[in-house]
Structures are given as C-alpha cells and as structure tokens.
Amino acid sequence: MRLKGVAFNVGSGGCPIEAYRHAILNAKHVFEVVKAKDMQPCDLLDIGAGYSMTSYIPENNFDIVGPLISKFLDETFADEKNKIRMIAEPGRLFCYSVQTSCVQVYQARQKGEFKHLYINSSVYQLFRDHIWGHERFTP
C-alpha cells in the first residue's frame, strides 16, 4: 500500500503560526520516514483549513499567517518543492463578506440597558463559530 501524503488541520477560527509550523514539521517527518524506508515518496501535502479573517487575535488572521505559512513551506520542503502538490481547504475564508443571516425574532425583552432578542437559531447553528470558533460578527 502506498502512502500518498499527509493531511492536517490545526483548528478553526484562526490559529497562531506556531500551530502551523509544528504541523508542517510533523508532516515533513512523515515524508522523511517514508523515504528512509525506501517506500514510494509521498507527493501530497494538505495543510487543512481553519483560516480566519475575523479572529479576536489579529496575528492569527490569514493575512498575517498566510505568507508565513508559505515561507515556512518553501523552507521546509525546499528539496521537494517541485515534487509535492501542496493544497489547502480555505472554506469559509472565501465567503465571510458575502454571508447574511436571516432569522425570525419571536420575542424581545429589555433587561436594564440591554435588549434581549430571542430568535429561531441556536449556538449549534448560526452562532457556533462565535462560541467555538472565536469569530466576530457584525449585527
């Protein structure tokens, strides 16, 4: 059986560059083990998804980590650069600015200075990325 390559996903909602560096080094180790065992070389590296442009930690956003990831991949896989297909799964990064959510407000209450709106969505639907993905939303 041939090992085609390595795929990883460091998480969602924007991660620090160190998470990507660690995962890339682990992938490189797998490529080296395959080579040392005289197996057919790996030729695919999938660096996953989880990229953000709305992280609460700006240095974790794709505009910062993207170029650093690219540079680190070039350095780490310099000898195999033309032999390995490197892919990623940017996912929701491409649709941040085009998403609008419509919900039904079925109740509103004033509690002190805050207005509470009760809607037909939950943290498991519309707001899951806010709770678990550290995303910021603009109402």
Model confidence pLDDT, tens digit, residues 80-111:
888 999 998 866 555 555 556 778 888 999 99
| Span 38-64, average pLDDT | 87
The total of structural domains in the chain comes to 2
- Which amino acid would we find at residue 139? P
Asked if residue 109 and residue 41 are part of one domain, the reply reads no
Asked if residue 13 and residue 57 are part of one domain, the reply reads yes
Residue 74 covered by a domain: yes
| Span 50-76, average pLDDT | 88
Asked if residue 75 and residue 91 are part of one domain, the reply reads yes
- Owning domain of residue 108: 100-132
In this structure, what CATH number is given to the domain that contains residue 23?
3.20.20.10
Asked if residue 30 and residue 64 are part of one domain, the reply reads yes
Confidence class for position 118, pLDDT limits 50, 70, 90: confident
Question: What are the C-alpha distances in Å from 53 to residues 94, 96, 136?
Answer: 10, 8, 9
Distance CA 139, CA 1 (A): 51
Asked if residue 46 and residue 22 are part of one domain, the reply reads yes
Confidence class for position 48, pLDDT limits 50, 70, 90: confident
Asked if residue 116 and residue 60 are part of one domain, the reply reads no
Asked if residue 15 and residue 50 are part of one domain, the reply reads yes
Residue 32 covered by a domain: yes
* Structural contact between residues 11 and 19, judged by C-beta atoms closer than 8 angstroms: yes
Asked if residue 66 and residue 120 are part of one domain, the reply reads no
Asked if residue 105 and residue 92 are part of one domain, the reply reads no
Residue 139 covered by a domain: no
The reply to whether the predicted model has a pTM over 0.85 is no
Please identify which residue in the block is written with the tokens 């209450």: 109
Asked if residue 90 and residue 108 are part of one domain, the reply reads no
pLDDT of residue 124: 59
